[in-house]
Amino acid sequence: MIDRYLDEYEKVRPLGKTKRATLTPISESWLGEVADSALTSQKLVEYAQWRMGKEGGGVQAQTVGNDLSHLGAVLSVAKPAWGYDVASHAMSDARIVLRKLGMVSKSNERTRRPTKDELDTLFTYFFEMQIRKPSSINMPKVLGFAIFSTRRQEEITRIRWDDLDEKRQAVMVRDMKNPGQKIGNNVWCHLPDEAWAILQSMPKRV
């Protein structure tokens, strides 16, 4: 079931690394040997408990939640698209149980900001590196852009000059991280003046 999902999905758009890296181990685990008609909420709860145990890797609740999120995407299309005999409520019932048991949760939000001293340390290090290796990536600018734009590293490194909208002071963020879709999830984002100024100061390759 999972293998078919991966094959069919890849025909439409490239698979994200996380999706394949999550679903392949599930397919290769004992859960992947369970017949579609036997894939009940009890089995899914059992799988979550196994994942958090030593044999299953001893993962955290956030990882279990991520596993079930990707597996849920498979189950949501398995029956209507390919006729697999999967109970439509199996995943939702399992989630209810696991939430009550505290065994699934969303990833912790990053609420902590770096302190001024921490930023000073980083900028000092990167400025010194620029002096030692002038040809190296201009990390002070990258770091400054990351702070003011609040964009992720991989989103920043994908920005192209033709991704800019000068009139709106916006940039297209390609493949923005999203639980349901990452590849092809291109979103226009406004840039604060500070981030825009840093971006405009970068050299253009002819």
pTM metric for this prediction: 0.55
Q: Within a 13 Å sphere around the CA of 67, how many CA atoms are in the beta-carbon half?
A: 28
The per-residue DSSP string of 167-180 comes to TTTEEEETT---SS
Domain residue limits, the chain: 2-100, 116-200
Point out which residues pair with 161 in neighbouring strands: none
Element (H, E) at 42: helix 41-52
Asked whether the predicted pLDDT for residue 9 surpasses 90, the reply is: no
Report helix, strand or coil for 182.
coil
Segment 3-8 mean pLDDT: 89
Asked whether the predicted pLDDT for residue 183 surpasses 90, the reply is: no
Which of 75, 67, 76 has its CA nearest to residue 18?
Answer: 67
Segment 83-104 mean pLDDT: 89
Which of 71, 77, 112 has its CA nearest to residue 95?
Answer: 71
Read off the pLDDT of residues 13-36 as tens digits, 9 standing for 90 and up. 777 778 888 999 999 999 999 999
pLDDT at 184: 61
pLDDT interval class at 67 (50, 70, 90): very high
Q: Are 81 and 36 in contact (CB under 8 A)?
A: no
pLDDT at 8: 86
How far is the C-alpha of 149 from the C-alpha of 170, rounded, in Å? 11
Residues listed for the chain? 206
